[in-house]
Amino acid sequence: MSNRKYQFKVDDIPPKNVKPKSMWNNPNEVSHLIEFRKKAYDALNGSLPLSEDITLFIKIHLPRGYNNRGDLDNFIKGICDGLSVIKSADNPNYEIHPDFKKFDNKNIHPNTFAMIEDDEKIISKCSKSCGWKS
């Protein structure tokens, strides 16, 4: 068992699983996903994706008055999926937004980059949602 640990902070709203449209092509979620995946990519620093017995600690800060909060589980699902390679690329509902095809985003493309090999390998999740004080 590996004891690799990675930590990163994203100063943005976390990606959120949205329905009926996929977060991978939803204009409201793509910028959050890109920022999130860039931070994860940098934190991984060229290491292989995590692949077994993964424990995930998440602390979510939402701005006071944020009205599109959604359920905490939608953010957790968005974070877990955002750390993985997209699984349903052949599904037309999972079309990838053109912003992922920009040169600056080639390292974080949903078809290629993953911090977590498969989010099914997460054995434990600890999450907390907090409001920003400012």
Q: Is residue 80 included in any domain, yes or no?
A: yes
Ramachandran region, residue 76 (left: φ > 0; alpha: ψ -120 to 50; beta: rest): alpha
Residue 3, in any domain of the structure: no
Q: Which domain holds residue 119?
A: 27-131
Asked if the structure places residue 119 within a domain, the reply is yes
pTM to 2 decimal places: 0.84
User: Do the domain assignments include residue 98?
Assistant: yes
- 102 found inside a domain: yes
The pLDDT of 84-113, averaged and rounded, is 84
* DSSP symbol at 116: B
**pLDDT, averaged across the chain:** 83
Q: Is the pLDDT of residue 89 over 70?
A: no
pLDDT of res. 12: 84
Residue 8 lies in a domain: no
Report the number of distinct structural domains present in the chain.
1
Does residue 16 fall inside a structural domain?
no
Res. 66 pLDDT band, cuts 50 70 90? confident
Q: Is residue 124 part of a domain?
A: yes
What pLDDT is attached to residue 109?
93
User: Picking from 20-29, 47-56, 87-96, 112-121, which range would have the lowest pLDDT averaged per residue?
Assistant: 87-96
